[in-house]
Amino acid sequence: MLPLPQTPDPELLDAAERPEEASELVELVRVPVQQSQMFCWPAGTHVVALRGQVQLTETPEWQGETLLRPRFTLRAHAGHTLCRDGWVLVLAHDDAVLRVVRPARQALAPAALRGAASLWQRALGWLGMRPANFAD
């Protein structure tokens, strides 16, 4: 019989290793000179140029009959926060290093999940259905 993997004690983990307590996700991105890369980042992501100069082109959006592609130039130590989810094109004018801080996804609390389940059960009851009949 194989031994079961040991789960580390939650008290010994720091906040970055505990998803329920982590408030943000941080990563470093390197983009070589005259190169471009695309990233899919959520709204609220904060991008800071630690070194070099980059141009960020956000997801296009329609305003009336005009398609706009918001563009921002970041020099060293400048930052920008994304307003919308979507693909971002990063073009490096110099060798660049970016610090990307993405907001953590909020997990649903168990009480909220129980509340949603009871709402579904009541809705099925109003329709004269039981969960067993729903599968038929």
Q: How many helices (H) and strands (E) does the chain have?
A: 2, 10
Nearest Cα to Cα of residue 42 among 87, 76, 92: 87
Tokens of 68: 């706009």
Q: What is the CA radius of gyration of the chain?
A: 23
Nearest Cα to Cα of residue 86 among 30, 38, 53: 38
Q: What is the mean pLDDT of residues 17-38?
A: 77
Q: What is the pLDDT of residues 63-122, one digit of tens each?
A: 888 999 999 999 999 999 998 899 999 999 999 999 999 987 644 445 555 566 666 677
Q: What is the pTM for the complete model shown?
A: 0.60
Report the pLDDT value the prediction gives residue 113, as an integer from 0 to 100.
Answer: 55
- CA separation for the pair 59, 54 (Å, rounded): 16
